[in-house]
Amino acid sequence: MGSCCPGRGDSEETTPFRDSDPVKEVEDYVKTLTPGDINRTSLMIYQNRHSNDPKAQVRLGMNYQLGVPGVEKDEETAVYWYRKAAEQGDATGQSRLAHMYRFGKGVEQDMTQAFYWYNLAAAQGDPVALKFIQENSQ
């Protein structure tokens, strides 16, 4: 019998559904999960359901940029999600991607790219982008 969950072994202790009461088995199995297991699973489900939603992509990027509980900090993955949102015209995604280029987080620092994405976001009224453009165009 295969393992039910990524990262879990195939031992009697961790593979659910071996007793006669399936409800109790699920309850017992859930008790073995850590908050990190639950958060990672929730994140994978969220990614699958919202992979084409720019607002969700920005939220995913922020989770990876900050390293929220259950999600390991990964700035390159944050850039991936911000770029997906930015390329769909999301102003927040554009502004966040610009920030990553500006400070070299998850990508090589590139002020040309930072200005490019901040300009696109500013054109849509993003306040962070507008402030950056105002402060750096003099």
- Mean pLDDT check: name the lowest of 7-21, 68-82, 95-109: 7-21
CA torsion sign for 18, 21, 23, 25 is negative
The pLDDT of 35-59, averaged and rounded, is: 71
Pick one of 1.10.10.60, 1.25.40.10, 3.40.50.2300, 1.20.120.160 as the CATH number of 50-136. Answer: 1.25.40.10
pLDDT at 20: 54
Q: How confident is the model at residue 104 (pLDDT cuts 50, 70, 90)?
A: very high
Buried b vs exposed e over 36-68: b needs ≥16 C-beta within 10 Å?
ebebbeebeeeeeeeeebbebbbbbbbbbbeee
- Mean pLDDT check: name the lowest of 13-22, 98-107, 111-120, 129-138: 13-22
Which of the listed ranges 5-14, 55-64, 92-101 does the model predict with the highest average pLDDT?
92-101
pLDDT digits (tens, 9 = 90+) for 64-89: 899 887 788 999 999 999 999 999 99
Q: Does the structure show a pLDDT above 90 at 123?
A: yes
Q: How confident is the model at residue 28 (pLDDT cuts 50, 70, 90)?
A: low
Alpha-carbon span 105 to 135, nearest angstrom: 21
Alpha-carbon span 110 to 106, nearest angstrom: 11
pLDDT at 133: 94
pLDDT at 60: 86
Which residue did the predictor score with more confidence, 109 or 45? 109
Sorted by where each begins, the domain ranges of the chain are 50-136
- Both tokens of 121, joined, read 């976001």
